Structure 1
């Protein structure tokens, strides 16, 4: 085995990325404190051709030096918008017939491994604050919640790790491996 050189990775140009068919997933970040988490989610969104990222509440926006450190330019490729109120974003996406799910540990959540996708639907995923999670009001507005099963003592994952796990799982379930 030989490690591939960057020139061998067949990376898309920014214009190719913007013109590419996107994965029907939208990420909503609500009240994310860590600029590194925000940048990391942008990088995940770029990796899986995510349609858009919404930044809500106290979540910082590009351009930002600290976000750029982990995003590595993904803020230039991935479409994003800032909205102060996450509830308005969720309501607007629901009106557009999008399936909106909070990623949170709640009563009657659906374990990620049991979550079934419909290939003709678009999905919006709400990720919340590093300490308090997804706001209870936002959870009420969502169609449901998805929970990542955890077996250890913490039952808590970093938001950027959670986003990577959930986005990858839905990406695979939506049959997007034909790149």
Structure 2
């Protein structure tokens, strides 16, 4: 039996920021709409870096770098991951659709697709929309989405932190792409 040991920083073979910028990205972006917590924003930057998202769109009242609370949680991912501020999320959704993205709202909704049933296509680009921590994804955005994706939950709360949801969806997306 092999005894596990923690890897050293050198053994992790981490990319430098410059190498990261040049590396191929996976075919998804995050759209953060009206995210109040800058710590959540920073955490989603880290998740985006870990799974090599193409970009993060920061919409509405969502804070943008540079900000100490984003930087504190992002641990430098706010410098590696491409991002753009978009004042109007509906205009951004329209633009992303025109660029060939499938719009996926992460929300509990009538007729939503359960995460385990979501089967992304290798040739398709996806924009995962995450909404406000209290109110969720804006109803108008849900109505414009191609897919409404729901993470099944089995406890009493039926809600997850927005940054946790981003991590679950990013991992599931990458795992399914790696299997195909």
Length-normalised TM-score, structure 1: 0.97
Give SS of 2:27's match. strand
Q: Note the C-alpha offset of 1:23.
A: 0.4
- d(CA) in 2 for partners of 1:96 and 1:172? 24
Correspondences of 1:86-105 after superposition (within 5 Å): 86-105=89-108
- d(CA) in 1 for partners of 2:8 and 2:151? 34
Is the Cα–Cα contact under 8 Å of residues 23 and 176 in structure 1 kept in the other structure? no
Q: Note the C-alpha offset of 1:176.
A: 7.8
Residue 81 of structure 1 aligns with which residue? 84
Q: Note the C-alpha offset of 1:7.
A: 1.7
Residue by residue, what CA displacement relative to the aligned partner does 1:97-141 show, whole Å, maximum 9, x if unpaired? 111110000000000000011100010000000000000011111
Residue 31 of structure 1 aligns with which residue? 34
- d(CA) in 1 for partners of 2:94 and 2:179? 27
Residue by residue, what CA displacement relative to the aligned partner does 1:62-84 show, whole Å, maximum 9, x if unpaired? 00000011100001000000011
Query: Which stretches of structure 1, 4 residues or longer, exceed 6 Å deviation after superposition?
Result: none
Q: Note the C-alpha offset of 1:6.
A: 1.2
Residue 154 of structure 2 aligns with which residue? 151
Residue 18 of structure 2 aligns with which residue? 15
RMSD across aligned positions (CA): 1.1
- d(CA) in 2 for partners of 1:14 and 1:89? 27
Correspondences of 1:1-179 after superposition (within 5 Å): 1-175=4-178
- d(CA) in 1 for partners of 2:173 and 2:156? 26
Structure 1 alignment gaps of length 5 or more: none
Structure 2 alignment gaps of length 5 or more: none
Is the Cα–Cα contact under 8 Å of residues 26 and 50 in structure 1 kept in the other structure? yes
- d(CA) in 1 for partners of 2:137 and 2:31? 10
Q: Note the C-alpha offset of 1:146.
A: 0.2
- d(CA) in 2 for partners of 1:86 and 1:171? 25
How many residues get paired?
Answer: 177
